[in-house]
Each structure stands twice: as structure tokens, then as C-alpha cells.
A and B are shown apart, each in its own frame.
Chain A
């Protein structure tokens, strides 16, 4: 990793990084690169987000689903931890709450593989600053 020396460097860096992210999103295979974020702040971890994270990584691999599982901070839905956000290529992100291993299994089999929604979706009810 080289040092960033100027604002130009940073802009270039950002473009490179964004390309990577865009590539992920525009993958043409329907199943390629599903992105899953697991809310792993203290409250998430306390309710078992770490186990869900491990379960997802292990099982997505086992079932040959190309997915990127990342940890993220607190999404704010403390009443419904553990919370995960699943973004399928080209689709809006969907947030699932109260995720257990059984639920995670259902999400992989039904939502990720077959596109069926499963119970327990948390409707997003905030705006981000990017939408301004």
C-alpha cells in the first residue's frame, strides 16, 4: 500500500475502488457476487451475529454461491439483531432481522438462490446523504 500524496491520488484511488465495487454490482451471471453485510457492532455480536457471519461464509462456500460477506457497523435496528443486508446484483438491498442459523439457511436457499422473499424483512425507513 503506497501513501496517498495528493488529492489527485485520492481521487484516482477512489475511482479504482469504486470500479471494483461497480464490477461486483454489474456481474452478468445472475448468481455472481451477492453482497451480504452482517451488522457487527456490540449489540449485533451480543445477539449472535458472529455465528451468523461464520455460518454464511461456510455455507455459501459449500453451496457454491458466489457471495461476498462483509462485516458492517450498527444498522440501527437493535430490536431485531442479528441483522443482515443482502444485495443481489442489480437489485435493491433487502434487510433481514432476527436472523438465526435456520433463517440464514432459508435466506440462502429461498432469497439468494430462487429470488423468493422470506418473512422477517425490515423495511428501510431512512434517507442517506447520497440521495440529496
Chain B
């Protein structure tokens, strides 16, 4: 038997260390130490009800355990074999749950797009087939008309996972309706949001799923050529895709007369140089054609005139990864997961000041609170939650009041952010919201292709204004100017990059107006993170004149005689914080 005690930060803070000790003592009292082993584990993610003790092999899940409870657990459960009812998880509705397999919490994550990620060897087509791989393609070719495939995707309600949320089935339908001698299927693997890496992980962990889905899409839309546009800075994903394409050709899953049907399909790779704007489908197509990666006006949509002027269907990696499952399990199965208008699941790259950073996949409609505090294990170091940034440079910051918003495409738009490709950056009390907006805008300025003026010039000017605010040099009317610019840029830019570039600024201004005002009126950064608004000072009463700070200062900004009070020359100070670390007498402070 094993007793697993949670050793995550949250549970440790509620004395899981002493629970472990105490359990070991109790076991010794009953001479069970050789039969029952106590183990500290990583975070269970269920911090709200910590500390957690789980008993194996029966999966009994004890919540809110205190060191005083250990006697009862050992004497009742281990000696007499009776569960300690009062420590079992109390479900919000209904009674206590006897083991973790029956807890709703463990249904919070469900893996559809990531179903094989971390499960199979990505370089082996055999393992993919052992997990029902290529069955969807076989079924589609043998038993379904192209029309039926499209209908099934439409009924499933699958929406584009790259950010826009356009219904995938509808897109396929447009491409299939346009007659042409040649059509194309394109996979958009130009993942560019800072911090998002779900597409890369799918390609690295389960490349065959994407190949299979592209072939299915080819069959449905009448295309026999597939292209994957992937950034050259994803060498491992490229390597595994190449292996996968080779294997699929050998098995006859790509090539001519697939499954002995008249359907031919082959896939090639196209490398991008890593420009954010090339995630926009028209820019992506131009880049594949060898032109400059610049967007063009839609219509015509790629479904009418795409790659080389032929009808082209462009979907993102994660969207494709869902397709084989929908064919295998049916549209009904898929549409039951998630919410009415956003079906299925979404993969998020959880990052920032949260304990369990990583890749998670949750049904649509899961709340931000569940994602951050239960799956993510709460804020690092026990600090206070401030905001969560979703949607990358096109999205916005959501605050405490939005925590209970169910995540889906429409809800996020309604509260001023967006789904985007699924980056989720958690911010705590030490993060300055003006700096966050500035960070994302810096990214947009860098990535703007320069074709249209509002985006090229406007974002740059906006960035300069934000910089002045963080330096404490802005005036009140600059805030008004900033606000106006946001609206002009959003209204007049050509493509999604420019149209959504002001979102981080708009949403932080809306939700954290006071922080902007503090920077402008008081020249103060409430989070204490803007270097230019910070001053290191020496408290004369505490300073003993040990010279430790003066010796550490890299620019010689601290002067003072031995055993005399020291002083910092603010003009020389570069705010590196070395003096603060060096001082043993708490005589250096930040103002």
C-alpha cells in the first residue's frame, strides 16, 4: 500500500510536511512501516481542498487533512480497512466521493487534440495505428461521400482553433463548392503568439494525426495536394513531420489510390521564417508562393482563390488534430463536450506566475478560476492574483471579476479579450499592467509587416506613448490620445494583426485605469516594477556604515565614510538592486 501526500506549494503551506512525518510515526506505532510507504508527490492540482492524501491502490482521496487526522487514517483505514468518511471529498452536489476516479475535478481536463501526446512514440506509425490511427481516413474513403464528411464536421460545431473561431465545416464547404482543376489543403503551423506552444507540441507528439486530418480534408474538399506551413525554428517538429510523411507514404496512407480508392493525396512542407503576420491566412499563402509575407484584402477568400490562385482550405494544427476523432466518434459525441456555440475542448499553454505551468486541454466552458487555481495550482509563492492575459498580442487582460466566466470564443470576446491560439499568461500583484501592455505592443511593432499605415505608424506611436508613461514623463492628455489611437488603429488596419493590436492597451486601460493614472499623475508604479519610477534610498537610522552596499554598487553611485551614513546618487543609480541585496541591516528601501 502507498500513501501519497501532496508536496505542492499550496499543500506544504498547510503543513503537508508534518502530515508526512506524523503518518510515518503512526505507521511505526502499528508496525506497518514496511508494508505502507509514505510518499511526497507533486501537486495534485486540487489546492483548494488541500492538503491532499491519496491512498493507493484503492484511490481513496482525502481532502483538507491535518496532522491530527493521521491517527484516524492509519487506525481506521489502514488497520481496520474502513474509509474515514469525514475526510472524503464532499462534492458540491450530492454526497462524499469515495475515490478520485469519481471526482468531477479529474474530468476538468479531457484530451482530444492531445490524445496521443506523451502517450505514443511520435516516430512510429505503428503506435499511431494501434491507437486507432488512420481509421478515420479509411472510414471516410470507404464509407462516406465527401458531402457527408463535411456535414459531420459542420454538425460537430468544430471552430478554428487558431484564434478566429470560424466554423471549420463551413470553410471546408466553401472550398469544396469552388470548382477548379487543382485545389489545396494547407495546415497553418505558423504558431506565433508569445508563450503558445500547443501546435508545436501536437506536431512533435502526434504528427500523424495532422497528416490524417489533412488527407480527410483533401477528400472532402476535392484537393489532392497538402502543404504544411511551419516555421523553420521548430526543427524537432519538422524532423518528426518528415519521418511521419515518409512512413505514411510507405504504408500507402499518403500517395496514390489510398485505401484502394481513386483518391490521391500527398503532403509537402513549406518553411516560414517566423513572421507573426504569416499566421494570417492570406499572408501565409503569399509567403508560400515566394512573395512577401503580407496580407491582402478579403474577399477573395482563400477558398475561392488561395495558393497559386486555386481554391485552398487553411486550418490550424489543433483544428486538424480534432478531425480524426470527430470522424471516429461522431459529431454528436464531440458536440456534447463544451458549450453550445463552442464545442469540444481547447488546449491552453498556461504560463506566468502560476504553479503548474504547462499544456492543458479543457472542455470549452471551463472557467478561468478552474484553470488557474485548480489545474494550474494557484499563484506562485502564495501571491495575489491580479490578471490573466489570454489571446496573446491580440487579446486582453482579464481580472478577478472575470474569473468565473466560462471560457469560450464568444464569452472572451464579450469581456474584451479573445481566445486566440490559446496562450494564457497569469499575472500577480508584482506585474505592472502598463508594462504588460507595452510588452505586447513591442511585439506587434516588431511583427507589423508595414503594408498599411495605421499598423506600421500607429502602433509605433502608441508604443512610444506607453514608454513615456512607464518613465513617468506622460501628461494626462496623453491617456486620452492613447485611447483615441487605439480606436483608429483597430478601425482602419487591413488585417487582424493591426485590428487587434490595441487590444492589450484597451483592456488594461479599461480594467486598470488607476494604474495608468498613478503612472501619469503621481509618477508612481503601483506594482513597483517600472524601473524609471523607482528610487533606491538609504534609511539613515538603519545604516551602520558597513560599506557593503558601496562595494557592491557596479556604477559607484553610493558614497559615504566607514561607520557613517551612506548616500545614493540618484543620477548615477541604474536601479539594479545590488545594494538592496547586499545590505544586512534593512537600510536600503525602494520608493
Using a CB–CB cutoff of 8 Å, the interface residues on chain A facing chain B are 1, 3-7, 10, 13-14, 17-18, 20-21, 37, 39, 41-43, 45, 70-80, 83, 85, 92, 97, 116-123, 125-129, 132
Using a CB–CB cutoff of 8 Å, the interface residues on chain B facing chain A are 2, 4, 6-7, 37, 39-46, 54, 57, 105-112, 114-124, 126-127, 129-130, 132, 134-135, 138-139, 142, 197, 200-202, 204-206, 234, 236-237, 250-253, 259-260, 325, 329, 333, 355-361, 375
| Chain A residues within 8 Å of B126, by CB | 17
| Chain A residues within 8 Å of B42, by CB | 77, 80, 97, 120-123
| Chain B residues within 8 Å of A72, by CB | 117-122, 205
Which of B39, B329, B375 meets A117, CB within 8 Å?
B39
Taking A14-B132, A119-B41 as contacts, is the C-beta distance between A76 and B252 under 8 angstroms?
no
Taking A42-B236, A72-B205, A79-B358 as contacts, is the C-beta distance between A127 and B111 under 8 angstroms?
yes
Tell me the minimal C-beta distance from B136 to chain A in angstroms: 11
Taking A43-B197, A71-B122, A79-B357 as contacts, is the C-beta distance between A127 and B54 under 8 angstroms?
no
Contact present for B236 and A41 (CB under 8 Å): yes
Taking A127-B109, A127-B110, A132-B333 as contacts, is the C-beta distance between A7 and B138 under 8 angstroms?
yes
| Chain A residues within 8 Å of B119, by CB | 37, 72-73, 128
Q: Which 8 A-B pairs have the closest CB atoms?
A: A73-B205, A3-B252, A75-B118, A126-B109, A78-B358, A74-B201, A76-B359, A7-B138
Alpha-carbon gap, A6 to B41, bound state (A): 47
Taking A4-B259, A73-B118, A123-B44 as known contacts, 20 extra A-B pairs with beta carbons closer than 8 A to each other, sorted by chain A number, are A3-B252, A7-B259, A14-B129, A41-B117, A42-B200, A43-B197, A72-B118, A72-B119, A73-B201, A74-B117, A74-B204, A76-B358, A77-B356, A79-B356, A117-B39, A121-B42, A123-B42, A126-B106, A127-B109, A132-B329
Taking A37-B118, A129-B110 as contacts, is the C-beta distance between A13 and B129 under 8 angstroms?
yes
| Chain A residues within 8 Å of B201, by CB | 41, 73-74
Which of B41, B107, B115, B205 meets A74, CB within 8 Å?
B205
Alpha-carbon gap, A37 to B124, bound state (A): 13
Tell me the minimal C-beta distance from A36 to chain B in angstroms: 12
Taking A5-B260, A74-B205 as contacts, is the C-beta distance between A129 and B325 under 8 angstroms?
yes
Contact present for A117 and B37 (CB under 8 Å): yes
Taking A77-B356, A126-B106, A129-B111 as contacts, is the C-beta distance between A121 and B4 under 8 angstroms?
yes
Contact present for A73 and B204 (CB under 8 Å): yes
Contact present for B251 and A128 (CB under 8 Å): no
| Chain A residues within 8 Å of B2, by CB | 117
Contact present for B357 and A78 (CB under 8 Å): yes
Which of A10, A79, A80 meets B138, CB within 8 Å?
A10
Taking A41-B200, A41-B204, A42-B236 as contacts, is the C-beta distance between A119 and B110 under 8 angstroms?
no
Tell me the minimal C-beta distance from A119 to chain B in angstroms: 5
Tell me the minimal C-beta distance from A37 to chain B in angstroms: 7
| Chain B residues within 8 Å of A73, by CB | 116-120, 122, 201-202, 204-206
> Which residue of B has the minimal Cβ distance to A5?
B260
| Chain A residues within 8 Å of B114, by CB | 74, 76
Tell me the minimal C-beta distance from A53 to chain B in angstroms: 12
Contact present for A10 and B260 (CB under 8 Å): no
Tell me the minimal C-beta distance from B97 to chain A in angstroms: 15
| Chain B residues within 8 Å of A41, by CB | 117, 200-201, 204-205, 236
Which of B117, B127, B135 meets A76, CB within 8 Å?
B117
> Which residue of B has the minimal Cβ distance to A116?
B37
Taking A121-B42, A123-B41 as contacts, is the C-beta distance between A76 and B118 under 8 angstroms?
yes
Contact present for B357 and A17 (CB under 8 Å): no
Tell me the minimal C-beta distance from B144 to chain A in angstroms: 12
| Chain A residues within 8 Å of B44, by CB | 123, 125
> Which residue of B has the minimal Cβ distance to A124?
B106
| Chain B residues within 8 Å of A7, by CB | 135, 138-139, 142, 259
Alpha-carbon gap, A60 to B528, bound state (A): 52
Contact present for B359 and A6 (CB under 8 Å): no
Tell me the minimal C-beta distance from A74 to chain B in angstroms: 4
Contact present for A17 and B109 (CB under 8 Å): no
| Chain A residues within 8 Å of B116, by CB | 73
A-B contact pairs, 30 of them (CB 8 A): A3-B252, A4-B259, A5-B259, A10-B129, A10-B259, A13-B129, A14-B129, A21-B130, A41-B201, A41-B236, A42-B204, A71-B123, A72-B118, A72-B205, A74-B205, A74-B359, A75-B117, A76-B118, A79-B358, A85-B118, A117-B37, A119-B7, A119-B39, A121-B4, A121-B39, A122-B41, A127-B107, A127-B109, A128-B115, A129-B110
Tell me the minimal C-beta distance from A97 to chain B in angstroms: 5
Tell me the minimal C-beta distance from B354 to chain A in angstroms: 9
Tell me the minimal C-beta distance from B544 to chain A in angstroms: 41
| Chain A residues within 8 Å of B118, by CB | 37, 39, 72-76, 83, 85
